[in-house]
Amino acid sequence: MGKRVGLEVTVAVAEAVALCRIDMAGVYPITPQSHIAEHLSTLVADGKLDAEFVTVESEHSAMSAVIGSSGAGARSYTATSSQGLMLMHELLPIASAMRLPITMAIANRAVSGPLNILNDHSDIMPQRDAGWIVVFAENGQEAIDLSIQAFKIAEHKDVMLPVSVNIDGFQLTHMVEPVEMPTQEEVDQFLPPFVPHATLHPARPVTMGAFAMSDYFTEIMKAKDEAVKNSKKVILEVWDEWEKMFDRSYKPVETYQADDADVLLLTMGSMGETAQLAIDELRAKGVKAGLVKLRLWRPFPFAEIKAVVKNAKKLIVTDRAVSFGGPGGPVFSEIKSALYAETQRPTIYNYIYGLGGRDVTVHDFVGMFEKIIADTGNVAADTYVFWGVRE
Amino acid sequence: MNIVENFDLYAPRLINKKELLSSGHRACSGCAEVLAVRLMCKALGENTVIASATGCMEIVSSMFPTTAWEVPWIHVAFENAAAVASGVEAGLKALRRKGKIDDRYVKVVGMAGDGGTMDIGFQALSGAMERGHDMIFVCFDNEAYMNTGIQRSSGTPMGASTTTAPAGKVSSGQKTWKKNMPEIMVAHNVPYVATACPSYPLDFIRKIEKAKSIKGPSYIHCFSVCPTGWRSPSHTAVSMGRLAVETGVFPLFEVENGHYRLSPDMPKQLKPIKDYFKSQGRFRHLTADEIESIQEKVTSEYRKLTEKARFLKTGNA
């Protein structure tokens, strides 16, 4: 078992990625991701990581370069944030269609405009339908663990899909946390070498990224959809294996005090820990409050969500992104459609909060609960409300 | 003796017989670009990986589930062929160093049209060249966005009529001079930059071989006649390329470590550009005065180039 050390989360993530013995990293600087790039390049410069560190001239080229490198059969990594992720957007569905097991850290940050460098989820949400596996970390330890697991999931022969590990910008990336870093021996034992299905090498020439019109396109989309859905089985296996080895549990949907809760709150990412304190406070007052934490965003865990919310009367879904003029925040829309056909389901409320780094405290979560518990029809269910907005 | 006119005598002995871009692709009849790609593959040989931009050459060669490529080939998007190539190069380099693949030298080649090189792919190319990857980038320049329907690019020559810079009652077609891409690459201080044209196959093959022998980035700008987009007879594609060279519209030269050399194929005396313009529909609307002003520019640009070749000579020229 590794030592418990205090590390900034970005540095810890870079250390974890180095333990995975990547062959290539192509990263472009952007706040709040940059420390990952900086630390990886330091590890390469010091001879601690034998990899090519490609200092690309944009995030578009970062994703292009890791696609090329992964196509060549190299274990390839990148990291980005916000505008950088938006610039990569064009290439994300290409990477998944080409079934390239790239892994990427996303230091989640608000998308401009106005320009903002702080945390919300408006960068990852537009990438929802790119065909990537998307997971969220709640704390530094999870950021490390998910980063290592990501390679194993992505490269599994039944998956062969890119994975993004979402780490809330600043609120998580820039925290110095006590973390347990696995040893090199442990990671080597957990993560086998990457054995690609086909590579860009003259030993066996292949064509990658061919052109397909209406006669094949639908079948290729269906195949990708099946691949994303089927990846869940491998994700669960990898998490089980991780738990056996490291005694830390990962589930697509995790809960806190949810079994007997009348009112549930749903969060994704680093807000989970703050919300947990709010649950403790409410429980101390005798309120039957509970928490649902969504870890796996794609493939979406329909069955798990249905199972954990079915006995609650009210469900508050929180979103850190806006779907302007839409049906509610992106997480809310998903949860609502997941529960539509259920005969027994809670009334669902949606709060949009914590945008562009707006601070969210325990008090805010307690406030949401109090408002919804007291609601007798005044707070519109099935639509969305901005929490804490000045009007 | 003119080598090209006696090509049949030379070709069997000088050129790799193996086809690495196989027949059955869907290029237009008389496409000089696909001829250039085929020659390039012959010059590169089997130990090659190609990263292609979206464009004519990509769609004609890779219609799923078929492929014309006998070498490893990847296409990702329009603007990123150079970035993809740089990633392939970095990946192969790491794998070879770590003993995970055969210990053999593989040349990585990025390719794109004029749009994918000079416009939308410009940044990715500049970045890849500046980073010094061991790769060749070849621009197959047919002087407009032919794949999408003959729209103008920064590679379109002054006066050419295209679908987005059409000749009309108050317009004479393209209003800007062609971007001087080879000089921009020279300014990147890459070890080798050359211009080429498949109408001069031996010169083109030699330049590809030269680029292949260089450990580091090199750039080849290949003039590719497009009968469809230029509205010229398809059987004249090769002679049209020769006219572009003979008139100085597209001079053949190479720059090795900053030293300029004109190709021996360049004539002592340039032909007038009207000889080149006359059978192309894209120039048909031009008046004698307009052609004259373009002639002046071509003459002065060629003079600049010959001066560079004179003052920045290669040692063995």
Q: Which pLDDT tens digit goes with each residue over B194-203?
A: 999 999 999 9
Give the distance from residue B26's alpha carbon to the nearest chain A alpha carbon, in angstroms.
Answer: 12
Contact of B96 with chain A, judged by CB distance below 8 Å, is answered with no
Confidence of residue B4 (pLDDT cuts 50, 70, 90): low
Q: Is the pLDDT of residue B317 over 50?
A: no
Mark out chain A residues that contact chain B at CB-CB < 8 A.
23-24, 26, 50-52, 54-58, 60-61, 64-74, 76, 90-91, 94, 98, 193, 199-203, 205-213, 216
Give me the amino acid identity at A380.
A
Touching A: B residues 116-155, CB under 8 Å: 123-124, 126-128, 130-131
Cα–Cα distances (Å) from B232 to A69, B32, B84, B173, B283, in that order, read 41, 12, 34, 17, 10
Q: pLDDT value at position B298?
A: 98
Check pLDDT > 50 for residue B21. yes
**Mean pLDDT score of chain B:** 95
Domains observed in chain A:
4-246 (3.40.50.970), 253-386 (3.40.50.920)
Best to test chain A binding among B92, B122, B130 (most A CBs inside 10 Å): B92
Q: Please spell the DSSP secondary structure of B69-136, one letter per residue.
A: BSS-EEE--SS-HHHHHHHHHHHHHHHHHTTSS-S---EEEEEEEHIIIIITTHHHHHHHHHHT-SEE
Q: In terms of Cα–Cα distance, which of B38, B60, B262, B30 is closest to B138?
A: B38
First to last CA, chain B: 21
pLDDT of residue B86: 98
Distance from CA of A226 to the nearest CA of B (A): 20
Range name among A16-30, A87-101, B2-16, B54-68 with the lowest pLDDT average: B2-16
Angstrom distance (rounded) from CA B190 to CA A116: 38
Which ipTM value was assigned to this complex?
Answer: 0.97
Q: Which of residues 56-95 of B touch A (CB under 8 A)?
A: 58-59, 62-65, 67, 69-77, 79-80, 83-95
Domains defined for chain B, CATH in brackets: 30-311 (3.40.50.970)
CA angle (A75, A24, B20) in 5-degree steps: 80
Q: Residue B284: which pLDDT band, with cuts at 50, 70 and 90?
A: very high
**Distance (Å, whole) CA A145 – CA A165:** 10
Tens of each residue's pLDDT in chain A, 391 residues = 678 999 999 999 999 999 999 999 999 999 999 999 999 999 999 999 999 999 999 999 999 999 999 999 999 999 999 999 999 999 999 999 999 999 999 999 999 999 999 999 999 999 999 999 999 999 999 999 999 999 999 999 999 999 999 999 999 999 999 999 999 999 999 999 999 999 999 999 999 999 999 999 999 999 999 999 999 999 999 999 999 999 999 999 999 999 999 999 999 999 999 999 999 999 999 999 999 999 999 999 999 999 999 999 999 999 999 999 999 999 999 999 999 999 999 999 999 999 999 999 999 999 999 999 998 877 777 789 999 999 9
CB-based contact B56:B33 (threshold 8 Å) = yes
Is B11 in CB contact (< 8 Å) with chain A? no
Provide the 3-class DSSP secondary structure of residue B310. helix
| pLDDT the model gives residue B1 | 46
Residue B315: count of CB within 10 angstroms of its CB: 8
Q: Do A200 and B63 touch (CB under 8 A)?
A: no
Which amino acid type is present at position B188? Answer: H
pLDDT tens sequence across B83-102: 999 999 999 999 999 999 99
Per-residue pLDDT averaged across B230-235, rounded?
A: 97
For residue B94, the chain A residues in CB contact (below 8 A) are 23-24, 50-52, 69, 74
- The verdict on a CB contact (< 8 Å) between A68 and B87 is yes
Please state whether the peptide bond connecting residue A32 to the residue before it is cis, i.e. omega within 30 degrees of 0. Answer: yes
Is the pLDDT at B170 greater than 80? The verdict is yes
Q: Is the pLDDT of residue B12 over 60?
A: no
What tens digit of pLDDT does each residue of B110-127 get? 999 999 999 999 999 999
Beta-carbon pairs below 8 A across chains A and B? 175
The pLDDT value given to residue B312? 84
For position B2, what pLDDT does the model report? 58
Per-residue confidence at B15, pLDDT binned at 50, 70, 90? confident
Are the C-beta atoms of residues A299 and A325 closer than 8 Å to each other? no
Which chain A residues contact residue B47 at CB under 8 A?
202
Residue B157: half-sphere exposure toward Cβ, Cα within 13 Å:
24
